Amino acid sequence: MLKIVVPSIVALTVLASGCSTLTSEGTSQNLSLMTYSADNNDLVGAACELKNDEGSWTAVTPATVMVHRSNKDLIVKCTKSGFSDARANVVSKTKANMFGNIIFGGGIGAIIDHNNGSAYQYPPVIKMIMGEDKTIKEGSN
């Protein structure tokens, strides 16, 4: 009886944790944030705010910012004296392992990863151009 119970408990623990949680990708993600002038020159010292449904973060460019993953867009606004504001909706993308959760985990891992945000990711580099209002998707930056 013990030989059956222990593997069952291990299997349930693995399924209940979610795939992204197990692969150590976690619920947070580091993003590289840079700002540029309208003529595409590096611009240092812009104050930026990043927000999604999980929280808000601030940074002064250039910066690396750790944000909480979400299935909602990340809204970014950067300001600097003498320049028009830069705004962007950074689109959240479903990671490939989410589909593996659904197929191999019976959906339990997918539900967990969706609820804690670890099933999603933002583009790792965000390039903001002062005066622009844009949407940033994976590969379009």
Q: pLDDT grade, residue 141 (50/70/90)?
A: low
d(CA 20, CA 26): 6
CA distances from residue 29 to 1, 60, 81, 131 in whole angstroms, order as listed: 43, 18, 29, 26
pLDDT in tens, 18-37: 444 444 468 899 999 999 99
Identify the pLDDT of residue 74. Answer: 97
2-136: CATH, from 1.10.10.60, 3.30.1490.150, 2.60.40.1120, 3.20.20.70 = 2.60.40.1120
Q: What does R_g of the chain's alpha carbons equal in angstroms? A: 19
Q: Where are the domains of the chain?
A: 2-136
Calculate the average pLDDT of the chain: 78
Q: pTM to 2 decimals?
A: 0.72
pLDDT in tens, 74-120: 999 999 999 999 999 999 987 555 445 445 555 555 545 544 445 68
